[in-house]
Each structure stands twice: as C-alpha cells, then as structure tokens.
Structure 1
C-alpha cells in the first residue's frame, strides 16, 4: 500500500465568484458527484488543478502586483500567471462562465483551452484577488496546494445565470447567499474560506494579509501571507 504522505501535492486554483446585483452578496457553488474521488457529494467553489498548458496561455490583463507577490512567496517564480489562467479555465469548464476580454491568441490554444479561445476572448486575471491558500492534509487520496481567488460576477462576460456550457463535474450550480451557504454540505476548508471571505466583504476592502492553512508538514499550521 502506498504511503499516504507520498501523495503528490498539485498546484490548484479556485474561484469564489460573488454576485452583488440582487440583494445580499451571493456566491456561486456546485455539488461534486457521489462517485468523485475527492470530496464526494460536497458543495464547493469552481476550481481544480493547474494544467501544463496554463503556463503558456496569454492573459488580456495580469493580476494585481500585490497578488503576484503573495502568490510567489514559497513558490516558483512565474507560477502566478499559470494559477490565474487555471482559475479562469476551471471556472469556464465547470460553470460555462467567462472572465475574459476580446483579443486574438498569439499562439495556438492548448488542447483544454480550445473551447475558450473559440469564444473570441483571452482570459483576464485582473478581476481576480488572491484571498486564501490551503494545502490538503496528508492521508487524502489527492492533495492540492490551492489558491483561492475572489472575483466580482459583474466582471463576467455574459449572463451569470447561464450554465448551459458547463461540464458535468459540478451539479446544482446556483448562487447562494453567503449568509446561507454554511447550511450546505461543505468540506471543512470551504467553511473556513467562506468565513474569511464573508468578513472581508463586510469590511469592503482588499485583504491586508492572506490566510494560509498549511498542511505541508507533520502538523497543521494556520499562518498569514503578508
């Protein structure tokens, strides 16, 4: 039997898409399938592992400098654009929603970007704000070093209620008032992130520090990225 601690930790990106146009803030969530190897039946935010092609994808606009600096602490230089691109791709694949701007691709789109490129858009990172980081504990069948990005649904291209182009990875996609989201069947880390983001939105500002739930070592550590 394989050592659970030997499960590789993959870089991942998750999008917390928040809507402000119909009452209290609402966040987009979907449910993972019962047969999923990771977090079955749980309600989660759109997201997933970074693909090799994400590092080559041109961005219509970059991340804010503060986000880039924080993302590259304890990480390889140049990883931040791939994380941003992966966040936009995962949002597109799992929900059919687009964060992009009109533009021509200067290179052939990687295989998993063909459908996005066919929309006539380039992915844009400027709506993304890095707000949380978490590494999956040892002993899980899959482990991720996940960076969570907050984005305003007002920056989407198209109808925020149109999930017709979503894959089948998440079901029951819907906008949930943040005040009610904790009633869903959530993973522990999703509950933690929701609490942090609710407080951040209540303050109405950019994060002064980014919380980091670090399970890379033998003991969990909760710290902050300055």
Structure 2
C-alpha cells in the first residue's frame, strides 16, 4: 500500500546573517506523532485555504519557477502562503505588509488577517526540498524557504501570539543549533544554509532529497540561474 505524502512548507529565518547568524527554532512535543522532541524550523502541511490568499507582493520569479513540479503540485504561491501561515501559527511572527484584507480570510487565516497585514512572500527564497522516507508515521514533500528576519513585520523576540505546537522558541546561533537534537534532514538543510551565509539569494540550484518506495535520490532542481 502506497503511503500518502502531503505537500508542506518550512521557513528558515536567519537573524544577523552577515554578523553572528542565528536561526529561529522550536522543539516539538514529546507526544507528537511526527518527529517527537526534535528541534525544527517552523513549518507544516498545505491547507486548502492557502490557495486562496491575497499577497502583498509576489514570490521571487526564479524561486517560483523552481517550485513548479508537475500538474498535481501546489502552485508556488500556495506553498509560499503555507510557509507564512505556519510561521505565524507556530511563532506569532508576521512576514507581511500592512494592509487590510478586502474579503473574508479563508479558513486558517483569520488570525493573520487580524494583525492588519497581507502575507508577503517576496523575501522568501526556495533553497531545499525533501520527501520523508517511506515507513514513517507521516510523510511530507517539504519545501524549505530561507528569509532574512529583518523582513519581519513583528518584534522578532515576541512569541506571545504563538500556538503551543513548538516549545522553547528561540533564536539559536547556527553553531549551537548543530548541537541540538535535530531531525536528519533539518541538520542537512542547516549545513547548506550555513555554508552559503551571508548570501540569502536563490542558490545556483536547489538540493532535492527524493525518497520513494524504490530508491532515494539526491537531485538538483532548476539548474543554473538564467
């Protein structure tokens, strides 16, 4: 029986990328079905409402082109919306521009809309993609986005609006983050990001760990920039 794989998006926020860079992370609960007790970046699965969210500014064009992965894949804007919504839900941080919504927000977006912002994916950079290997309790096709925390519309140290999904939310220096109890793929992504800093522009190509029932492949998406 083929396991269901859900589309997902994750945000890697970097603070002070040219100085002493740190990343925003939290710890999943020890009773969580997926990756219990692990330290992770904010992220989660695509919700239906994510496809119907107005954007203040569009996603970077090169990143959008690389996110297109077949007729059944979510639209690039949908994946970017998921990343922004999950960041808001799990940390209380807003990646958006001050603007009022002209229509009722879709399911899952009322809280974000209540902050008086429209989501703005323009700072996001698509830097990694990975599919959870077979045999796990849940499987995700996760797209990882990188962004400078300077683009946040909120106080980066204020987590008062966060849900309780992630505990111990903190800006962790990258060197110290490597010592945490990380999922394998989180450690790989962290190493990729650390090797590129202070650069936050789209990479020459996007690493893709594709795990399916037959084999695990390490691919590159998008090739060189035009």
Q: TM-score, normalised by structure 2?
A: 0.94
The answer on 1:70 being equivalent to 2:74 is: no
Unaligned runs of at least 5 residues, structure 2 = none
The Cα offsets for residues 63-121 of structure 1, whole Å up to 9 and x where unpaired, read as: 01101100003454761111000000000000000001122223210121101101111
d(CA) in 2 for partners of 1:31, 1:122: 28
2:55 is matched with 59
Q: 5+ residue gaps in structure 1?
A: none
Provide the rounded CA distance (Å) in 1 between the counterparts of 2:86 and 2:20.
Answer: 26
For residues 120-166 of structure 1, what are the alpha-carbon distances to aligned partners after superposition, in whole Å with 9 as ceiling and x for unaligned? 11011101000000000010110000000001100001210000000
**Residue from 118, 121, 146 that aligns with 1:125:** 121
The residue aligned with 2:20 is 24
CA RMSD of aligned residues (A): 1.6
Taking the aligned partners of 2:71 and 2:145, their CA distance within structure 1 comes to 17
SS in 2 for 1:218: coil
After TM superposition, list the pairs within 5 Å mapping 1:171-182 onto structure 2: 171-182=167-178
Matches of residues 115-194 of structure 1 in structure 2 within 5 Å? 115-194=111-190
TM-score of the pair, normalised by structure 1: 0.94
SS in 2 for 1:183: coil
CA contact (8 A) 2:8 2:141 kept: yes
- Alpha-carbon distance in 2 for matches of 1:152, 1:224: 23
**Aligned counterpart, 1:85:** 81
